[in-house]
Structure 1
């Protein structure tokens, strides 16, 4: 059974605070969209609870916070707002001076967050989140067949010899996310593209392409006493190139006991090395029913707020499915909210995080939002996605039609029937 707590202060020690900004110098394998390093600092506003949170001014525009509250969310109690990098670092030093420890979502250079001020040893954080170490943290039977090539000539030779299709991943200690460090090579021309993208000294992982029937992000909390609690799960929506485009929660897509048990074992191994906090693991189920771990995120992930808040919000609305949507709007945040107001009032649209570059004095760029789109079914959610898109809201991955999700559901049904399940 998943934990019922919906705020992060239930999972982190009382002497911690959230320091979620990624540092530009370490953001090579992170989405490079405008303002993204600032927007991510507001992703936990809806679920931080009493944990102090350092967040950019653009994430706390009054109209955005009001919309979140109107949707039934409790905005973080203690917010330390910054506009510049120097102000962000000053907040870290100030809180650390009060004997609080920084929960750095991504590895942060020591000149910004010295190791003595962080809750998790930075070396442990880097090790656990380096894709090259996955096979050391996952039971052998749940590791896809893979091999590593250390950069330069070795990578170039391996690219020439690799079978197609192959999944390429970068083994890096730097922060990574959103599929930016992943490439699926399907055609001969992809070899040269991969060499340009990855052939620059990084160690590269060559991994088998799996026949995927289910794709879950399962989340666990390693509590301060090192015990592990299952937090919940969502199904991942990915583009054909592997880029993450949102998450879906629906009872029909819940992970099996085998998937949950595999994730728990991985969390326990991380706990033994010193990790504490919430982690999210990408675990797929193959067409023949095998759970396989394809990525380990020992940190808060994109869907953490969705997983924590969905049970209550779903129950209050009587709507069983929710889709986490990453949205942008070529206009002001006020215009975006005017477009969404009727849907927020109707209860099926919940803003989890907002970004206003104007209020944040962050320079030109689109207004952004992370929304939960609720529906009676996946089909109802898809119809509401179309309503938002027709009003000018750009939803990441929206072009992945429902046909793709239907194929995934059919594969899941085949797996269940093969295990003796009856409708």
Structure 2
């Protein structure tokens, strides 16, 4: 069963080297812009396990017998390079242990210095925060590929918005991480603006905000790259992102015919980050409008939701791949058995399973992320059938 993983064209270990630990979990500290539910955040700690080949900090509910059985059904050995936690205290303990051992940590999301010393960051913390700060987008694009935008202080935001025509986008410009479209506020009308301003008021922040023109989008790509001194700068691939009208992320499919203008725009942005000192994987949300112009709306200098899918693209059967995530609306047992059947059928590849039955004193729905693969008509049919089953 090891044969599958041996064929991976790239692993995080190849990029980050020895004595580096990875954590994809947001800090347990309060973040007004990243509202990921606790169990969802715990489950996602295992999402990159199969492409890591390096120590990964993972929640205990994602490493039990059920996740292992799913991997066996897919013909993959469950990796052994992980360190577990079960709550905020044990999670923070894993960070401190890595620091004490002299290891570096590649954080998916920045953590405050009360949890780990900034010197423990694999990427210089100030650089990492700056690279992922939406207010500094123009720094990393060198002023290119940008919609009309304006940076304003929070106490001037309401008055400034009155000068903008709908639709437009509001983004926080502070150092708190965002993901999945959370924290991005698209306004089509006065009611949307009112809700956005109320949310900003509730955040009790004194940071600046970014206002951007809304792009009439023909295609929404996440283009991804990897860089290390040993491998150089390489294009990993791209996915087409599925979002609703308010920018919330609902998954993606592998893109096989990406315009060269999009690939080169992303490569240029990646090179700018590398020149500043970045090493690792990055994914950029690049839009193509109805006139064929390319716009950069978000830069993620870290692993992305579709990174695993892109790296394993050539290893999965079929020409069509679709990222899949769900939580149990039926019983946990029925949810698991249905997923197991789909994996055994060879059309659903598991990335992470979070066993809700790990919690004996409360009901927690189980969660899963994986990759549908095969022919598009078949994949879409089974994806729809699963949604109908899981109601």
In the other structure, the counterpart of 2:210 is: 205
One of 164, 181, 184 as aligned partner of 1:182:
184
In the other structure, the counterpart of 1:338 is: 337
In the other structure, the counterpart of 2:17 is: 13
- Name stretches of at least 5 consecutive residues in structure 1 with no aligned partner: 394-423
Deviation of residue 219 (structure 1)?
0.8
Instruction: Work out the CA distance in 2 between the residues paired with 1:291 and 1:272.
Output: 22
Deviation of residue 328 (structure 1)?
0.9
Range 15-24 or range 241-250, more displaced: 15-24
Over 6 Å off, 4+ runs: none
In the other structure, the counterpart of 1:146 is: 149
Q: How does 1:39-188 map to 2 (within 5 A)?
A: 39-49=43-53, 51-152=54-155, 154-188=156-190
Instruction: Work out the CA distance in 2 between the residues paired with 1:156 and 1:147.
Output: 13
Aligned length: 382
Deviation of residue 141 (structure 1)?
3.5
Q: Does 1:216 align with 2:218?
A: no
In the other structure, the counterpart of 1:414 is: none
Change beyond 3 A, Cα 1:325–1:142: same
In the other structure, the counterpart of 1:237 is: 242
| DSSP-derived class of the 1:248 partner | strand
Instruction: Work out the CA distance in 1 between the residues paired with 2:188 and 2:164.
Output: 11
Deviation of residue 89 (structure 1)?
2.3
Instruction: Work out the CA distance in 1 between the residues paired with 2:362 and 2:26.
Output: 18
Range 277-286 or range 199-208, more displaced: 199-208
In the other structure, the counterpart of 1:376 is: 375
Instruction: Work out the CA distance in 1 between the residues paired with 2:145 and 2:81.
Output: 41
Do the aligned partners of 2:73 and 2:340 also contact (CA within 8 Å) in 1? no
Instruction: Work out the CA distance in 1 between the residues paired with 2:14 and 2:346.
Output: 27
Do the aligned partners of 1:59 and 1:360 also contact (CA within 8 Å) in 2? no
Do the aligned partners of 1:46 and 1:353 also contact (CA within 8 Å) in 2? no
Deviation of residue 150 (structure 1)?
0.9
Instruction: Work out the CA distance in 1 between the residues paired with 2:72 and 2:147.
Output: 43
Instruction: Work out the CA distance in 2 between the residues paired with 1:73 and 1:8.
Output: 18
In the other structure, the counterpart of 2:3 is: none
Q: Does 1:276 align with 2:275?
A: no
Deviation of residue 148 (structure 1)?
1.3
Deviation of residue 339 (structure 1)?
1.5
Deviation of residue 331 (structure 1)?
4.8
Do the aligned partners of 1:46 and 1:73 also contact (CA within 8 Å) in 2? no
TM normalised by structure 2 equals 0.92
Do the aligned partners of 2:138 and 2:144 also contact (CA within 8 Å) in 1? no
TM normalised by structure 1 equals 0.85
In the other structure, the counterpart of 1:196 is: 198
Do the aligned partners of 1:147 and 1:205 also contact (CA within 8 Å) in 2? yes
Q: Does 1:298 align with 2:301?
A: yes
Deviation of residue 186 (structure 1)?
0.7
Deviation of residue 15 (structure 1)?
2.3
Instruction: Work out the CA distance in 2 between the residues paired with 1:121 and 1:191.
Output: 36
Do the aligned partners of 1:29 and 1:180 also contact (CA within 8 Å) in 2? yes
Do the aligned partners of 2:99 and 2:116 also contact (CA within 8 Å) in 1? no
- Name stretches of at least 5 consecutive residues in structure 2 with no aligned partner: 1-6
Instruction: Work out the CA distance in 1 between the residues paired with 2:268 and 2:33.
Output: 27
Do the aligned partners of 1:11 and 1:223 also contact (CA within 8 Å) in 2? yes
